[in-house]
């Protein structure tokens, strides 16, 4: 196991689900993230914004171990992650990528993809039970996608696939959802639907949500805390802060 508890050290990361300290990420010699310090607490609903190429996707990928930082420390649930994230910690994090991951010919139905979430934690060779099947179907209802249950996943639109990815993460009992522009491909009606779903999951199921979105108005309506990135964190504070407009104007224009 690659988790080492810093027992004898007073950690400033107490009660956090994610705690990043002095994180720097480089691709080759290009600096994508610079000196990132970030605490995320259980139950938060956080919006991340920033111009194209400002490191938003890199930040989410760094949290779940898809990108290795050059320097800095990552703690998930208070545990120091050095090499690989332990499986039991990894499954607490559901990641919905920026682009729909399934192509037209991907050989699985919506049902298969969500059921995959129910046995992801237990291991691929676990037999799927009726209980798992029922759970997957209940989750599909929760995200309002049960009528697509038998549809090949690759035949869904990008936005619909993202909803199924949310369902898969919930089936794996994710406690934290990291979403990379979940509404960028959606019409305004579906956008509201997804944001309301996230709001519902946050309020009713106490899921911690971190979502990237270019639509500041939308983030203002649904989130309480907003992080503006421009390789560095330019702003991290309440969505209601009147200074937020100045920060956004500076980094976007
Ligand atoms: N695998 C990679 N190899 C090299 N450079 C990369 C790689 N991934 C990202 N980058 C670069 O790092 C920077 C940050 O990329 P990232 O995808 O994190 O930005 P972003 O804020 O998510 O952008 P967007 O709003 O367009 O999705 C960009 O300049 C990008 O070109
Ligand atoms: Mg991105």
Atom 30 of ligand 1, residue of closest alpha carbon: 53
Question: What is the reported pLDDT for 193?
Answer: 83
Structure tokens at 52: 């194209």
Contact indicator for 145, 194 with CB cutoff of 8 Å: no
pLDDT bracket for residue 223 (50, 70, 90):
very high
Q: What is the mean pLDDT of residues 152-179?
A: 91
Question: What is the reported pLDDT for 122?
Answer: 64
Q: Judge whether residue 237 has pLDDT over 60.
A: yes
State how beta strands 16-27 and 30-41 pair: antiparallel
Q: Judge whether residue 67 has pLDDT over 90.
A: yes
Convert 225-240 to b/e letters by CB count within 10 Å (16 or more is b): bbbbbbbbbbbbeebe
Question: What is the reported pLDDT for 124?
Answer: 58
Helix/strand/coil percentages in the chain, nearest 5 = 35, 25, 40
Report the distance separating Cα 180 and Cα 60, nearest Å: 8
Atom 16 of ligand 1, residue of closest alpha carbon: 55
Q: What is the mean pLDDT of residues 231-251?
A: 90
Pocket test for ligand 1, best of 33, 58, 68 (most atoms within 8 A of CB): 58
Report the distance separating Cα 7 and Cα 177, nearest Å: 28
Question: Which are the contacts of 165, defined by CB distance < 8 A and separation ≥ 6?
Answer: 94, 96, 97, 101
Report the distance separating Cα 203 and Cα 85, nearest Å: 27
Atom 13 of ligand 1, residue of closest alpha carbon: 53
Cross-strand partners of 238: 225
Q: Judge whether residue 243 has pLDDT over 70.
A: yes
pLDDT bracket for residue 99 (50, 70, 90):
confident
Give the ligand with the smallest distance to the CA of 66: 1
Q: What percent of the chain has pLDDT over 90?
A: 59
Q: Which residues line ligand 1 (CB under 6 A)?
A: 27, 30, 32, 50, 52-58, 98
Give the Å distance between the CA of 109 and the centre of ligand 1: 31
Contact indicator for 192, 181 with CB cutoff of 8 Å: no
Q: What is the mean pLDDT of residues 23-45?
A: 97
């Amino acid at each position: 196991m690659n988790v080492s508890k810093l027992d004898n050290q007073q950690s400033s990361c107490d009660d956090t689900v994610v705690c990043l300290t002095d994180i720097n990420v480089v691709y080759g010699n290009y600096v994508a993230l610079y000196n990132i310090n970030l605490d995320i607490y259980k139950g938060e609903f956080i919006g991340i914004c920033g111009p194209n190429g400002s490191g938003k996707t890199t930040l989410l990928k760094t949290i779940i171990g898809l990108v290795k930082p050059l320097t800095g420390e990552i703690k998930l649930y208070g545990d120091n992650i050095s090499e690989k994230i332990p499986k039991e910690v990894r499954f607490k994090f559901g990641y919905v990528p920026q682009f729909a991951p399934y192509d037209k010919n991907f050989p699985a139905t919506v049902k298969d993809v969500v059921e995959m979430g129910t046995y992801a934690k237990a291991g691929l060779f676990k037999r799927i039970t009726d209980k798992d099947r029922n759970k997957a179907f209940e989750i599909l209802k929760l995200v309002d996608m049960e009528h697509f249950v038998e549809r090949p996943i690759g035949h869904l639109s990008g936005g619909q696939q993202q909803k199924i990815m949310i369902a898969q993460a919930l089936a794996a009992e994710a406690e934290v959802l990291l979403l990379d522009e979940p509404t960028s491909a959606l019409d305004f009606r579906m956008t509201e639907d997804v944001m309301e779903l996230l709001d519902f999951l946050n309020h009713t199921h106490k899921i911690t949500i971190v979502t990237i979105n270019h639509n500041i108005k939308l983030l203002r309506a649904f989130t309480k805390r907003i992080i503006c990135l421009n390789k560095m964190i330019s702003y991290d504070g309440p969505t209601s802060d009147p200074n937020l407009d100045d920060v956004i104007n500076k980094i976007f224009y």
